[in-house]
Amino acid sequence: MLFFCYNYTGDIMYKRIENIFNNIVKLNVNKKSLDKFNIYLIIFILILMMIPGILNNFIGVGFDSIHNYYLFLLIPLIYVFIYNIKNKYHKNSIDFIFISIFMIIALISSIHAFNPWTAFFGDTNRKTGYLMYLVYYFLYVNSKNINNKDDLFKILNVMLIIGIINTLFAVLQVYLPYNNIINKFYHYIGYGLIGHHNFLGTFSLLLLSLSLYISLFISDKKFYKFTTIIMFICLLLTNSSGPFLSFGLIFLILLIYIIIKKHDLIKKILIYSLIFIALFFTVEISSSYVNKIYKPNVIVTNLQSDMINILRIFGINIGDIKQPDIVIKMPKNGELDLIGGMNTVSSGRLDVYKSVIKYIDYGNYLWLGTGPDNMQVYRVYFIRKSNNQATFIIYDKAHNIYLNVIAETGIFSFIFYIAWIVSYHLKTKKCKNELMYLLLFGLISYNIQGLFNIDVYMVMPYYLIIAGMLMGIGDKLETRKH
């Protein structure tokens, strides 16, 4: 009797497992269950993108050892995408058409690349080959199904918690001495778990913009006030001028808008202004003191040179912007005189842009680009006087999102990329939804800093998920109207 019951119960369990498996394979999963899976998958991906930085910082595992781990993400992402198409939950809106055409052009560019393997699988450092583009693509499209307030804030809250963790680690990097766990190149700069101060700057800018907007216009919860302050501290610790300049610009616009249109929020925005100013000087002075260095403010210095470079574009030359001859003091061989160097102070962004533009013209890369992760621009960094030998610096990215799109995938992909950006601005303007304005504010901050930085796999998913949720809300509102 017991044996019969055991067999009967086991048979029922087997049939249930078989039915579940068949439903999954046949895409007959319940929509509510699939949506939950999609949300958890996106949260998992957000956390997963930090894993290389965690491994590198804590146990010294290099990025190369887990170079292609992200490819496994394509399986569940494609499954969710096919499910939504089969069950007619997917909408072929204009943004989807633009981004799909961009992907087709990028595919052609990858096939015609000098090194197709790198174009598809990505460089071991950057990891932004065409297959990563596919991860981005499906991540964006699937995020459009997150179109209600509760689910949206689940995603945003996870993003902000990850931001807090990165900030805490950046604080440890700046204020603790170098050791086996706290790895850092510059002692006074925070890299977080992202591993690069410019990329952490982009990351903190995006989350800071979202948190600030929520605390001003949507929620009075202390959590968002706290995360606003935390993410601003993170931005300061990065010493990255591009994201800092971008935040200063959007904060100024926000301040003017509130003074003109939202008088009830003037007190809030002024308090934030005072807090930001106080934090700026506190972080600057304390990081210099703890690291026992005197340094001119890196952000201010870089901003000055960035403004000079912008004026140069319009033919306005201010001051002597050439670097002095580089001198390196060698411990054993004495002093080694060097000549040359890049043309401008700071990071020489304008020089990078000029070099990339010449590279595009020289290699005839305007139409299809070099292919993803295939750009290699060599530039003389300095020349030794003693033997007249040159040392080169290699640019594998344009340090400008928009120029980089042209360089790697061509002018036509750039047109559709810009068209896609315009589409979510127009959708927000048309729908006039509070949540869409929130998400757009974050996207605008990212787009502005894109003039100075590049897309990276640790941050780009955040941008695309936010854009996807925005367009998903817009599609839902338009469907209701019809």
Per-residue pLDDT band for 338 (boundaries 50, 70, 90) equals very low
| Sequence spans of domains, the chain | 91-143+319-482
Q: Say how many residues make up the chain.
A: 482
Question: Are the C-beta atoms of residues 160 and 152 closer than 8 Å to each other?
Answer: no
Query: Residues near 418 by Cβ (< 8 Å), separated by ≥ 6?
Result: 402
Taking residues 131-153, what's their average pLDDT?
Answer: 94
Query: Residues near 468 by Cβ (< 8 Å), separated by ≥ 6?
Result: 139, 140, 141, 142, 143, 144, 146
Spatial distance between the Cα atoms of 214 and 210, rounded to a whole number of angstroms = 6
Taking residues 179-192, what's their average pLDDT?
Answer: 70
pLDDT in tens, 417-475: 999 999 999 999 999 999 999 999 999 999 999 998 888 888 999 999 999 999 999 99
By the 10 Å C-beta count (0-12 exposed, 13-18 middle, 19+ buried), 330 is classed as exposed
Q: What is the pLDDT of residue 193?
A: 85
Across 9-23, 39-53, 83-97, least confident range = 9-23
Q: Taking the complete model, does pTM exceed 0.95, yes or no?
A: no
DSSP string across 266-308: HHHHHHHHHHHHHHHHHHHHHHHHHTT-----HHHHHHHHHHH
Per-residue pLDDT band for 333 (boundaries 50, 70, 90) equals very low
Per-residue pLDDT band for 217 (boundaries 50, 70, 90) equals very high
DSSP string across 212-275: HHIIIII---HHHHHHHHHHHHHHHHHT-HHHHHHHHHHHHHHHHHHHHH-GGGHHHHHHHHHH
User: Among the ranges 2-11, 44-53, 115-124, 179-188, which has the highest mean pLDDT value?
Assistant: 115-124
Q: What is the pLDDT of residue 43?
A: 94
Between 301 and 268, the higher pLDDT residue: 268
* In the chain, % of residues over pLDDT 90: 46
pLDDT in tens, 351-405: 788 888 888 888 788 999 999 988 887 766 655 666 666 666 777 788 899 999 9
For residue 328, what is the DSSP state?
E
